[in-house]
Amino acid sequence: MIRLFCNLPALVLLLASSVALAAERPNILWITAEDHGPHLGCYGDTYATTPHLDALASRSMIYTRASSTAPVCAAARTTIITGMYAPSLGAQHMRSRVKAPEWLTFYPALLREAGYYCTNRAKEDYNIRVEHKGWHESSSKAHWKSRPEGKPFFAIFNFTKSHESQIRNAHPNPQHDPSKVSLPPYHPDRPEVRKNWAQYYDRLTEVDRQAQRCLDELKQAGLEDDTIVFYYADHGSGMPRGKRYAGWSGLHVPMIVHVPEKFRHLAPEGYRAGGQSERLVGFVDLAPTVLSLAGVKPPEWQHGRAFLGKYQTEAPKYSFGFRGRMDERPDVSRSLTDGRFVYIRNYLPFLPHGQRLYYQMQTPATRVWFELFQKGETNTVQSAFWKSHPAEELYDLSKDPHETVNLAAVPEHHQTLLAMRQAHEQQVVNTRDLVLLPEPMMHQQAEKLGVTPAELAKKHYDPESILPYARLSLLPKGEADRALEKWTTQDLPLLESYWLAVYLQTLPESDVVKYEAFLLRTMKRGGLPALVAAEILARSPRNKQQAEQAVQRLVAFADTKQSDSFTSIYAYNALDRLQPLPESVIKKLAKLNAVTEGYGGSYIARMRGHLGLPEPAPTKKKKRKSNSK
The arithmetic mean of pLDDT across residues 567-574, rounded, is 96
**Average pLDDT score, the chain:** 93
Q: Report the distance separating Cα 6 and Cα 3, nearest Å.
A: 5
pLDDT at 173: 85
Annotated catalytic residues are 73
Q: Of the candidates 300, 315, 330, which is a domain's last residue? A: 315
Please report, for residues 54, 118, 347, 576, the alpha-carbon distance to residue 98 in angstroms, rounded to integers and kept in the order given.
Answer: 39, 24, 22, 27
Residue 17, H or E segment: helix 8-24
pTM comes to 0.93
pLDDT band of residue 598 (cuts 50, 70, 90) is low
Are residues 303 and 451 located together in one domain of the fold?
Answer: no
Beta strands 66-67 and 281-282 are: parallel
The arithmetic mean of pLDDT across residues 239-268, rounded, is 98
DSSP 620: P
Domain total for the chain?
2
pLDDT band of residue 463 (cuts 50, 70, 90) is very high
Q: Report the distance separating Cα 136 and Cα 145, nearest Å.
A: 12
| Phi and psi based region of residue 205 (left: phi greater than 0; alpha: psi -120 to 50; beta: remaining) | alpha
- SS3 call for 29: strand
Are residues 306 and 451 located together in one domain of the fold?
Answer: no
Is 194 part of any domain? yes
Is 255 part of any domain? yes
How confident is the model over 200-241, as pLDDT tens digits? 999 999 999 999 999 999 999 999 999 999 999 999 999 999
pLDDT at 13: 36
Angle between helix 494-504 and helix 463-470 axes, rounded to 10 deg:
20
Q: E strands within 191-251?
A: 227-233
pLDDT at 15: 38
Is 348 part of any domain? no
End-to-end C-alpha distance for the chain, whole angstroms: 34
Is 16 part of any domain? no
Are residues 153 and 298 located together in one domain of the fold?
Answer: yes
Nearest to 243 by CA among 196, 288, 280: 196
Please answer whether residues 279 and 272 qualify as being in contact, where contact means their C-beta atoms are separated by less than 8 angstroms.
Answer: no
pLDDT at 541: 83
Is 592 part of any domain? yes
Q: Report the distance separating Cα 541 and Cα 550, nearest Å.
A: 12
How confident is the model over 134-186, as pLDDT tens digits? 999 999 999 999 999 999 999 999 999 999 999 988 777 899 999 999 999 99
We report the CATH number of the domain holding residue 178 as 3.40.720.10
Q: In this prediction, what percent of the chain has a pLDDT beyond 70?
A: 93
Is 347 part of any domain? no
pLDDT band of residue 629 (cuts 50, 70, 90) is very low
Q: For residue 193, is pLDDT > 90?
A: yes
Please report, for residues 315, 355, 408, 560, 593, the alpha-carbon distance to residue 605 in angstroms, rounded to integers and kept in the order given.
Answer: 45, 16, 38, 12, 11
Q: For residue 4, is pLDDT > 60?
A: no
Please answer whether residues 102 and 467 qualify as being in contact, where contact means their C-beta atoms are separated by less than 8 angstroms.
Answer: no
pLDDT at 10: 38
Is 472 part of any domain? yes
Backbone angles phi, psi at 261, to 5 degrees: -50, -40
How confident is the model over 443-457, as pLDDT tens digits? 999 999 999 999 999
In 3-state terms the chain splits into helix, strand, coil percentages (rounded to 5) of: 45, 10, 45
Is 237 part of any domain? yes
How confident is the model over 71-110, as pLDDT tens digits? 999 999 999 999 999 999 999 999 988 999 999 999 999 9
Q: For residue 602, is pLDDT > 90?
A: no
Q: Which domain holds residue 122?
A: 22-315
pLDDT at 599: 63
Q: For residue 596, is pLDDT > 90?
A: no
